[in-house]
Structure 1
Amino acid sequence: MKPLESDAPLIVYVDVKSPYAFVAIRPILALEKELGLTFDWRPLTLDIPSYLGSAEKKKGKVVASEGRSQKTWNAIRYSYRDARRYAERQGLVLKGTEKIWDSSIANIGIMWVTQTARNRLENYLEAVYTPFWRRELDIEDVSVVESCLETAGVASDGFAEYALGGGRAAHDALQAQFHPAGIYGVPTFVIDGEILFGREHIPWIRWKLSGSAGNAPDIAYEITPC
């Protein structure tokens, strides 16, 4: 895969461990249905320690931290408060994670579903994202991800081998291309080769994919309460 190229009208990059991707999933899926289009969903596994440092909590208290200034901690706490507001508007629970997870297996699951049962992608995203952000899911355990696939109605036979073999190789090759291509976070959208970062671009994307009739909408994030 080339990071900026697809046969689909829109590429969507997400990461299971990103709170901002979590609160954007349902609006993006709703847009896909509204327009009757099929988006190209792809994983972007964030390397958080490389730019925000690392930390681990137990029972809400920090027990280990490396490379994080007080300014960084303040920014992280604010980002969670911000994302939590969007989650609550959708009737979702968003609890801050207690460690920095390796989300690559769960993200490789996105690739597996798009290749084997594309019509079940929404079910998989719901099966993995929602319990993970309630702190109920170990996304580093391949058997747990297999269970999420089964819950979503996706066959998991062969997934473990895929996650360690061809799927892992394809995932890692894609990750290596992101920064050179100008992609740094999630959710990121690519439309006609243009990169848009952040959920607030969803109204503009709707306008663009609908034919660009009339004035372009302001940059904003629309949420319909459940």
Structure 2
Amino acid sequence: MLTVTVDFKSPASCLALEPTLELARKTGVQIEWLPFSVRPFLIPEEKAEETVGERHRRVRALSQRDTWLHYAAVQGREMHFSKTPAGSEAALAALATIDGDPVPFIRAAFAAYWTEQANLDDVTVVSALLSSVQTEVPDPQSARAKLLSLRVQAEERGIFESPSYLIADQLFVGREHLPWIRSLIEAAKVA
């Protein structure tokens, strides 16, 4: 079993989805999708007079955005970064309650967030997404309680970022570790 954290407002999570699914297809590993909220990605506004630290954080954020846009283009995916990112808590809470295959909802939520800047903290928006993929709409209060419980469990396992991969009690942060994760999966099959 491969546990993968996901947050719809995380550009890194969005870009990790298809490579992670490809890994599962090629290796046969089962994925446990774990909703895990992270801070939204923001590019600091340029100031007339910036400190070296302020300039560094702004330029670094611009560079990170450009890198994500490059990888999005390689994947044939649209990504639009908003100056005021929307939330994702309601969608993450919904993900926490999905029985069965959550991938159609995960794909729909990422598409809504990154192409339309949909507010995935709006229960009405999330309900429409769930309906579009023929998934039952959960009770918002119980879904948020489950999301909070999952977060506590994730943090106890050492998870602090999205995407994170947990396999054989080893934690990897970021999709760049997928080749290493694949080798662990294949080694486990031989053992």
TM class, shorter-length: 0.7 to 0.9
Give the match for residue 106 of structure 2.
Answer: 125
- Equivalent residue runs for 1:1-226 within 5 Å: 9-48=1-40, 69-113=54-98, 116=99, 118-119=100-101, 121-156=102-137, 159=138, 161=139, 163-164=140-141, 166-176=142-152, 178-179=154-155, 181-211=157-187
Aligned-residue CA RMSD in angstroms? 2.6
| Cα distance between partner residues in 2 of 1:42 and 1:105 | 14
Return the TM-score normalized by structure 1: 0.72
Percent identity of paired positions between Structure 1 and Structure 2: 23
Give the match for residue 50 of structure 2.
Answer: none
| Cα distance between partner residues in 2 of 1:106 and 1:72 | 29
Preserved contact between residue 56 and residue 100 of structure 1 (Cα < 8 Å): no
Deviation at 1:170, TM superposition (A): 2.1
Return the TM-score normalized by structure 2: 0.84
Preserved contact between residue 23 and residue 182 of structure 2 (Cα < 8 Å): yes
AA at the equivalent of 2:146:
A
SS at structure 1 position matched to 2:12:
helix
Deviation at 1:187, TM superposition (A): 0.8
Gaps of 5+ in 2: 48-52
| Cα distance between partner residues in 1 of 2:19 and 2:86 | 24
Deviation at 1:87, TM superposition (A): 0.7
Higher RCO (CA < 8 A, seq sep 6+):
2
AA at the equivalent of 2:182:
R
Deviation at 1:179, TM superposition (A): 4.9
SS at structure 2 position matched to 1:42:
strand
Query: Which structure has greater helix proportion?
Result: 2
Give the match for residue 5 of structure 1.
Answer: none
Gaps of 5+ in 1: 1-8, 63-67, 215-226
AA at the equivalent of 1:36:
G
SS at structure 1 position matched to 2:116:
coil
Preserved contact between residue 96 and residue 133 of structure 1 (Cα < 8 Å): yes
1:152-201 deviation per Cα after TM superposition (whole angstroms, max 9, x unaligned): 22122xx1x2x22x221121233345555432211100111111001111
Preserved contact between residue 86 and residue 117 of structure 2 (Cα < 8 Å): no
Relative to 1, partners in 2 of residues 1:191 and 1:102: Cα closer, same or farther, differing over 3 Å?
Answer: same
